């Protein structure tokens, strides 16, 4: 690296000079990241994807990097998140052309996060390509982080999720998914750098870079054996009912009673189980109208049994001094508590700018798309004295949100209705994300879904029990409470984000010229 104004450069490639060839390579590199995730889980493609991106991008100007980042995002989200088409077309009462248009806008909009991140990357390092390499992991992580909260956020398709079954998984309780993603990108940078060093016959230096980059990949499996939390030896019997209710009748008034009957029949013979779980909105009517069914459940439950179910909630809120409607989950029997979902899905649970969008197309008038956001800092549910923090559907995708709320709880629980996404990779990605949250927090994650994947996830993020998708079935097993906090629960993603900011501050080039030196010029 040069500090005297000379340019530190790596060799340009033909890919950088050929716009369309470079765009294709970047889109492919983005799509490779989807292959690292469920269902294929080819985690080793992560660094390869990053190296390909750098092969095209390192020599580019900031303006060209904006386009390069956008093409990368198109490849990633076009391959990894286009399952939203099923929600829009099949369940959103929207024509195929309009569904294609909306899905394309969704993918193109998400790709802007990469585009803006890459543009900023170029602006910070316009002269030195060595600096550009060093800054890339920081830029990638900050782009991921911003995407996870801006405009409600889309914390999906993080590279680090692949390592719930990969060699870097042992770092999850320490630095979380963003920390793992950081090192995957750093390894990709090292691959690119080592390639350049070999081309320049500096094989010794290339070897040093390779060893340093691979060190965490070697030590990660050893870290995974550390017990960061204390898991109880006392088992809690558990049963989760998967009703497999078709999405097209989910909110049909003629079928509401039949859905409740399905879950009651699935629960026959299970009423004495310590903890019973029904999925998101398994009771498809608000709690103020579901008194009889709630009373019936309470009567059927054994003395030491608790049933937790998803249910809409309608009532007066003192917080907002008005009546509110929530996507909620409640405990019945030998437990108590009500939780209102905080992270709502745009258009699925609320409609932004609804005064203009309502009525335009069917997708903007989905059933149950008028929910209100639940308050922050809600208390966990309790079941037989066990503190259980619930997360409804999409909420489990937010790593820092889950880590923060997992404190002072014994188990985690998530319910979902992934029927919106049909037979796509979306539900499998969702399961993998839930597994990462269990690994980060060192707690069992109990997952109840309408049509899969219903599962018991242990404190190491591994599947202890599961039942197949698209079947009406009951999952049974034993679960265990855990106490204590992992390092990631105490710090969240802030150490990784701070490292990224430090890199930007100290590695970036000066953008504003030195005024004193300018004044000295004749």
pLDDT band at residue 1 under the 50/70/90 scheme: very low
Please, are residues 278 and 310 in contact by the beta-carbon 8 Å criterion? Answer: yes
Of 5-14, 64-73, 304-313, the one with minimum mean pLDDT is 5-14
pLDDT at 33 over 70: yes
Task: State mean pLDDT over 500-522.
Answer: 67
3-state secondary structure of 387: strand
Per-residue model confidence (pLDDT) at position 127:
85
Stronger pLDDT, 124 or 16, i.e. the higher one: 124
Q: How many CB atoms are located within 10 Å of the residue 484 CB?
A: 12
Per-residue model confidence (pLDDT) at position 8:
47
Task: State mean pLDDT over 287-300.
Answer: 96
The residues, ordered by sequence, that sit 6+ positions from 18 with a Cβ below 8 Å of its Cβ are: none
Find how far residue 428's CA is from the centre of its chain: 12
Per-residue model confidence (pLDDT) at position 309:
98
pLDDT at 329 over 70: yes
Task: State mean pLDDT over 54-81.
Answer: 96
pLDDT at 516 over 90: no
The CA distances from residue 507 to 18, 138, 180, 504, in Å, are 29, 10, 21, 5
The CA distances from residue 453 to 81, 284, 394, 458, in Å, are 18, 20, 14, 15
DSSP codes of every residue in 211-272: HHHHHHHHHHHHHTT---SEEEEEEEEEEEEE----GGGTT-GGGHHHHHHHHHHHHTT-TT
Query: If you average pLDDT over every residue of the chain, what do you get?
Result: 92
Task: State mean pLDDT over 446-467.
Answer: 97
Task: State mean pLDDT over 287-306.
Answer: 96
Task: State mean pLDDT over 309-327.
Answer: 88
Q: At what angle do helices 172-199 and 426-441 cross, to 10 degrees?
A: 110
pTM of the model: 0.93
pLDDT band at residue 6 under the 50/70/90 scheme: very low
237 burial level (CB within 10 Å; 0-12, 13-18, 19+):
middle
Per-residue model confidence (pLDDT) at position 14:
62
Per-residue model confidence (pLDDT) at position 76:
98
pLDDT band at residue 405 under the 50/70/90 scheme: very high
Could you write out the three-class secondary structure of 125-143?
CCCCHHHHHHHHHHHHHHH
pLDDT at 521 over 90: no
Active-site amino acid positions: 280, 341, 393
Per-residue model confidence (pLDDT) at position 362:
67
3-state secondary structure of 148: coil
Q: How many CB atoms are located within 10 Å of the residue 83 CB?
A: 18
Per-residue model confidence (pLDDT) at position 11:
54
Find how far residue 15's CA is from the centre of its chain: 32
Per-residue model confidence (pLDDT) at position 134:
95
Per-residue model confidence (pLDDT) at position 320:
75
pLDDT at 452 over 80: yes
Per-residue model confidence (pLDDT) at position 502:
97
- Token code pair at residue 289: 């109208």
Q: How many CB atoms are located within 10 Å of the residue 314 CB?
A: 15
pLDDT band at residue 331 under the 50/70/90 scheme: very high
pLDDT band at residue 12 under the 50/70/90 scheme: low
Task: State mean pLDDT over 354-378.
Answer: 77
Can you tell me which residue has the tokens 């803006």? 116
CA distance 403 to 512: 39
Find how far residue 297's CA is from the centre of its chain: 33
Report the percent of the chain where pLDDT is more than 70.
92
Per-residue model confidence (pLDDT) at position 9:
54
Per-residue model confidence (pLDDT) at position 316:
80
Per-residue model confidence (pLDDT) at position 17:
61
Per-residue model confidence (pLDDT) at position 363:
67
* Ordered strands of the 275-277 beta sheet: 338-340, 322-333, 306-317, 275-277, 230-242, 473-483
3-state secondary structure of 289: helix
Task: State mean pLDDT over 97-126.
Answer: 96
Report the percent of the chain where pLDDT is more than 90.
79
Residue range 160-202, pLDDT digits in tens: 999 999 999 999 999 999 999 999 999 999 999 998 888 888 8
pLDDT at 448 over 80: yes
Per-residue model confidence (pLDDT) at position 206:
86
Per-residue model confidence (pLDDT) at position 107:
97
Cis peptide before 100 (omega within 30 of 0): no
Of 120-129, 133-142, 457-466, the one with minimum mean pLDDT is 120-129
Highest mean pLDDT among 149-153, 233-237, 373-377: 233-237
CA distance 397 to 436: 9
Please, are residues 500 and 137 in contact by the beta-carbon 8 Å criterion? Answer: yes
Using the 8-state DSSP alphabet, how is residue 378 labeled? P
CA distance 370 to 250: 16
Residue range 231-282, pLDDT digits in tens: 999 999 999 999 999 988 998 999 999 999 999 999 999 999 999 999 999 9
């Amino acid at each position: 690296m040069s500090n005297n104004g000379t340019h530190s450069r790596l060799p340009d490639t033909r890919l950088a000079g050929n716009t369309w060839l470079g765009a294709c390579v970047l889109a492919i590199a983005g799509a490779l990241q989807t292959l690292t995730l469920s269902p294929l889980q080819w985690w080793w493609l992560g660094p390869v994807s990053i190296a390909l991106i750098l092969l095209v991008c390192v020599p580019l100007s900031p303006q060209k990097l904006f386009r390069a980042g956008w093409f990368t995002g198109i490849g990633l989200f076009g391959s990894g998140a286009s399952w939203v088409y099923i929600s829009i077309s099949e369940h959103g009462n929207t024509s195929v052309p309009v569904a294609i248009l909306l899905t394309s806008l969704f993918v193109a909009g998400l790709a802007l996060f990469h585009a803006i991140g890459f543009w900023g990357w170029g602006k910070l390092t316009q002269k030195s390509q060595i600096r550009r390499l060093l800054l890339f992991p920081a830029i990638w992580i900050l782009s991921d982080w911003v995407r996870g909260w801006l405009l409600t956020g889309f914390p999906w398709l993080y590279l680090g999720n692949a390592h719930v079954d990969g060699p870097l998984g042992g770092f999850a309780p320490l630095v979380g998914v963003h920390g793992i993603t950081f090192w995957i990108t750093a390894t990709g940078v090292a691959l690119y750098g080592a390639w350049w060093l070999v081309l320049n016959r500096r094989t010794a230096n290339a070897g040093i870079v390779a060893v340093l980059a691979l060190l965490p990949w070697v030590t990660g499996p050893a870290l995974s054996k550390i017990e960061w939390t204390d898991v109880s030896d006392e088992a809690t019997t558990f049963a989760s009912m998967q009703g497999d209710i078709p999405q097209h009748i989910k909110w049909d008034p003629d079928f509401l009673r039949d859905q409740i009957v399905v879950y009651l029949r699935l629960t026959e013979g299970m009423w004495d189980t310590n903890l019973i779980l029904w999925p998101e909105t398994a009771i498809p009517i608000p709690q103020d109208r579901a008194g009889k069914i709630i009373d019936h459940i309470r009567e059927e439950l054994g003395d030491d049994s608790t049933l937790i179910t998803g249910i809409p909630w309608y009532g007066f809120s003192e917080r907002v001094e008005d009546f509110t409607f929530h996507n909620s989950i409640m405990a019945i029997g030998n437990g108590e508590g009500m939780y209102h979902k905080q992270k709502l899905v745009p258009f699925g649970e609320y409609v932004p700018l609804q005064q203009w969008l309502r009525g335009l197309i069917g997708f903007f008038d989905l059933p149950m798309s008028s929910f209100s956001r639940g308050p922050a800092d809600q208390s966990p549910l309790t079941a037989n004295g066990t503190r259980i923090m619930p997360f409804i559907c999409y909420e489990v995708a937010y790593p820092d949100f889950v880590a923060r709320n997992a404190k002072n709880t014994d188990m985690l629980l998530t319910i979902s209705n992934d029927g919106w996404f049909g037979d796509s990779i979306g539900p499998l990605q969702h399961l993998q994300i839930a597994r990462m949250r269990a690994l980060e927090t060192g707690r069992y994650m109990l997952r109840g879904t309408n049509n899969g994947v219903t599962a018991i996830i242990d404190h190491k993020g591994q599947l202890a029990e599961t039942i197949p998708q698209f079947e009406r079935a009951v999952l049974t097993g034993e679960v265990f409470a855990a106490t204590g906090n992992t390092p990631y629960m105490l710090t969240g993603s802030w150490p990784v984000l701070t490292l990224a900011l430090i890199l930007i501050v100290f590695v970036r080039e000066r953008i504003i010229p030195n005024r004193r030196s300018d004044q000295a010029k004749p």
